[in-house]
Amino acid sequence: MLLSQLSECVEKRRGEGLLRQLTVSQPGLVDFCSNDYLGLARCTQLAAMIEEEYKEQHSLCGSTGSQLLTGNCSYYEQVEKELAVIYRGESALLANSGFDMNIGLFAALPQPGDYVVYDELMHNSAREGMKLSRGTSISFKHNDVRDLKTKLEALGPANIIVAVESVYSMDGHCAPLEEIVSICDQFNANLVVDEAHGVGVFGAQGEGLVVKLNLESKVFCRVYTFGKAPGVHGAVLVGPKALRDYMINYCKPLIYSTSLPMHSVCSIRASHERMRTECLLRQRHLYLFVQHFTDYIRNSPTLSINALDSPSAIQGVIVPGNEKVVRVSNFLKAKGWNVLPIRSPTVPKNSERLRIILHFHNSIDQLNGLLRHLEEALCT
């Protein structure tokens, strides 16, 4: 009975054209879809640095327990202190992933009677955490500071948490952080910023958009994930020491999960060292591609009407309809370009899109080839 119900759910999704499946990347395709913005995940120098760092620790293969049991050590705490300095925060707390930290943070942080007012495009990890919390969650229109202010004005006396991302993963939009900070000041609200797609891409050493704008003292806390631009794995919460102490006591993913193994912590430390010395160079190279992409789109009658306006490495071209966006993606793959379709309900119906991610390791010739084939696909 249970298996037949599960199969019916899968077949229903298949019939709607929404079935998710695990795939293996085809060899030879040019990467325009991964989150490896700075090319660090494939950097041989970083790989060597990680192995050297790990060798010096003479550690076990696994961490052997949660941080509250045997999964903590002086090296772990040393790296957390270094991350707090890098991201200009009072303290830092490592986590297994950005998803783990977000779901744990938003489940634990709001107290009874508190409000979380969040951008409607916040990542699923944060919204799932809110469902588990004791507070009340209210969304505001994406990047709409007037709607945010309206929502805050309607709330009575209470602790208010405002939650945004610095860069949104589905369209590449940056949050208007300076305006949001100003509104939070007016209402004594506590701002939480997810820097998953800002880390590495903004800031002289990849510290993210908050630090780039010198707003760290105005933000309650930030979550940085390391599986994107830093090219490794794990995440860190940066904020007040009192928040760190609270999370150690109340964040269930932290309390009940085995902590990151030493190799991952060594990877995090080495990645930040690599970003310290190479980040600006790689960012400049990356943003040459962003500018080239923007210029090409602007001068293309076929693409300009469908492109999303993004200042980041995440670009998008609207191709309405799940069937059509998949067909165009497959056409591009047949031409050698790895570009993934983003279908509804991940994005709203009729805003299905190709998400094109630009990288340090791409070339102008590759980008031109992709865009020419994209024009061809949309004209047929």
Catalytic residues: 35, 123, 165, 169, 194, 197, 228
Q: Who contacts 331 (Cβ-Cβ below 8 Å, separation ≥6)?
A: 373, 377
Give the span between the Cα atoms of 232 and 197, in whole angstroms. 14
* Spatial CB neighbours of 263, under 8 Å, sequence gap ≥ 6: 50, 54, 59, 61
Which residues pair with residue 338 across a beta bridge?
Answer: 31
* Token pair in block for residue 151: 């929502």
Nearest in space to 280 (alpha carbons), one of 200, 173, 196: 200
Say how far apart CA 242 and CA 44 lie, in whole Å: 39
Q: Is 258 exposed, middle or buried (0-12, 13-18, 19+ CB in 10 A)?
A: middle
Cα–Cα distance for residue pair 264/261, rounded to 1 Å:
6
- The alpha carbon of 380 is separated from its chain's Cα centroid by a whole number of angstroms, namely 34
Closest CA to 76 of 89, 92, 90: 92
Query: 353 in helix, strand or coil?
Result: strand
Helix (H, G, I), strand (E, B) or coil at 319: coil
* DSSP character at residue 174: B
Q: How far apart are CA 352 and CA 373, in angstroms?
A: 19
- Separation CA 340–CA 196 (nearest Å): 19
Helices (H), the chain: 2-15, 44-57, 74-86, 98-108, 124-132, 145-153, 177-187, 209-212, 241-250, 252-256, 262-298, 301-304, 322-334, 364-379
